[in-house]
Amino acid sequence: MDAVRIYGGKSLFGQTRIQGSKNASLPILAATLLTDGICEIENCPDIADVYHMLRLLRSLGCQVNREEGVIRVDTTRLSECDMPADSVGVMRSSIMLLGALLARTGEVSMEYPGGCVIGKRPIDLHLYALRRMGVVIEEDEAGFCAATAGLTGAVQELPFVSVGVTENLILAAVLAKGKTVIHPAAREPEIQALCEFLICAGGKIEGVGTDRLVIEGVKRLHPVRFRVPADRIVAGTYLAACLCAGGRIFLRDAPCAHMESVIACAERFGVRTERETNGLLVEGRADRKLPDGLVTAVYPGFPTDLQSLFMVVMACSGQDGWIEEKVFENRFRIVPELIKMGACIQVAGTRAYIHGGNPLHNTIVEAQELRGGAALVVAALAAEGTGIVTNRHYIDRGYEDITLSLRELGAAIELA
């Protein structure tokens, strides 16, 4: 059965290691296409989305193998520019192969990417920005074909901050002729990791970590060995689990420097945190109200990927609260499932109002996307009774083994 069974009402005690970052691994794997040789990527998480990305790379003629925690990608036999629809259709991140393939081969054919249903996330801005770099694109209902006689640098003044567009433009620009300026560029740690990988490979990028990136195209990139940073969203998930269920846990390798807004929010809920050289200690249970609510934002603001998890924290805190979603318009899909568990939540536009005092009880609920699925598991940990979260495959897209990690933290949870 594609589900997780949780025996709730148990506090968490223990430690677990935080896996490598999903959101950093995918663009870095795409970036290996820009090199001619064998790249070695350490600490890639063993998750469904990475599996689909590796399948896409193989379909393009790359030789890919994984052993002892290292993925080796040999791009010397890259031969195709047409990606299989079944992998493209299930993973939104496949769009980032567009910029890399145009830089490497000059042409791409693909269907429109899929992924979690958390909002529109149109690719129009990707295509518009690439057209400004000399790409000719023909679209139909199913997908599009893109081709260029040679990418040229351009000043890209974006109408809003977009992680995906920033990644695509970086991948296209690093081998383009001339200079590309991206503003406002996304500042997420995953963007910084992609830039660091490309700089190690010989790319010229200035402004890393700021909202203005300047990329001077180079003629070639050389293969490198690179280590993916730890996943701040996975660390935030287990931090939220402690806030809901209570206890004392240690998140080994948690990237505290990339979690400032999340850790600060946890402390406002009344729990104790301690940043250590090798991870993060979390102790206590959320029992305070956030008078000014919680608003999602692009980095370094509070991440939208943790919004549904902190909605559960509010529901478990016994206090009233509200969340405003300012990144994706469809992040409240978890609300009906939480209401099944006894939560009192009202949605009005981009805000969700959570009314405390309603203890959660376990039942059968359905995951509809990656982070919402993880949030339902966390809710079940704090609820009374035995719960089941179906559609585990959504959760597997971003978590190596959420049941194993939570068992290491003392949870009573198993596959069902």
Condensed to tens digits (0 to 9), the pLDDT of residues 203-212 reads 999 999 999 9
Neighbours of 122 (CB within 10 A): 9
Q: Indicate which residue of 39, 44, 116, 244 is catalytic.
A: 116
pTM of the model: 0.95
Burial class (CB in 10 A: 0-12, 13-18, 19+), 1: exposed
Residue ranges of the domains in the chain? 3-19+230-415, 22-225
Which residues have a Cβ under 8 Å from the Cβ of 147 and sit 6 or more positions away? Answer: 102, 106, 107, 108, 135, 136
Looking at residue 117, its pLDDT comes to 45
Residues of the chain with pLDDT under 70: 80-93, 114-121
CA 44 to CA 54: how far, in whole Å? 11
Q: Is 344 a catalytic residue?
A: no
Cis peptide leading into residue 184 (ω within 30°):
yes
Q: What angle do CA 187, 132, 151 make, to 5 degrees?
A: 90
Looking at residue 83, its pLDDT comes to 64
**Is the fold of 3-19+230-415 the same as that of 22-225?**
yes
Residue with tokens 């145009």: 102
Q: Name the CATH superfamily housing domain 22-225.
A: Enolpyruvate transferase domain (3.65.10.10)
Q: What share of the chain is helix, strand, coil (3-state, %, to 5)?
A: 35, 25, 40
CA 251 to CA 322: how far, in whole Å? 27
Looking at residue 193, its pLDDT comes to 98
Q: Give the model confidence (pLDDT) of 248-303 as tens digits.
A: 999 999 999 999 999 999 999 999 999 999 999 999 999 999 999 999 999 999 99
Residue 363 is classified by DSSP as -
Burial class (CB in 10 A: 0-12, 13-18, 19+), 228: buried
Looking at residue 170, its pLDDT comes to 98
Burial class (CB in 10 A: 0-12, 13-18, 19+), 375: buried
Q: Are 26 and 20 in contact (CB under 8 A)?
A: no
3-class secondary-structure state, position 224: coil
DSSP element (H, E) containing 3: strand 3-7
Q: Name the CATH superfamily housing domain 3-19+230-415.
A: Enolpyruvate transferase domain (3.65.10.10)
CA 336 to CA 48: how far, in whole Å? 26
